Amino acid sequence: MRAVYPGSFDPFTPGHRNVVDRARALFDEVVVLVAVNSMKQPGADEEERAAAVRAILPVEWTSVTVVAWSGLTSAYCRRHEVGVIVRGVRNTTDLQAEYRLAAMNQSLGVPTVFLPAQPELAAVSSTAVRLLGR
């Protein structure tokens, strides 16, 4: 089964890498979908962010691909025959927001699998990484 792991990944954090690593153990193929989120103002466009993610992931992770995408995740899944969406959750606030998205995607025919953050990575967010980098 193919899975997609969508996100803005601005930037791609150790927590994101951990989710990809764990997802690739569960699924035949994992597509890291670097998405456009109209609610966010990323520091780079999706193609640049996708290139940055590719540079971080180990080359031996041959079952993982990175793709830039500007549409709905469910549309990508239908177009590319991806059976499930993977989402990482760090805390109950994440879970509440992700649950709403999962319900919408389920109604569009694509189920979501949640992977809880490893405890040592739960406090790491892209926002925090960006703020520390300034």
Query: Which sequence positions are flagged as catalytic?
Result: 16, 40, 90, 126
6 close to 82: Cβ distance less than 8 angstroms: no
Q: What is the dihedral of CA 117, 36, 46, 115, to 10 degrees?
A: 20
Instruction: Show binding-site residues.
Output: 8-9, 16, 40, 73, 87-90, 98, 121-127
Instruction: Show binding-site residues for substrate.
Output: 8, 40, 73, 87
Pairing of strands 2-7, 29-35: parallel
Instruction: Show binding-site residues for ATP.
Output: 8-9, 16, 88-90, 98, 121-127
Alpha carbon 82 to its chain centroid, in Å, reads: 14
- Percentage helix, strand, coil, to 5, in the chain? 45, 20, 35
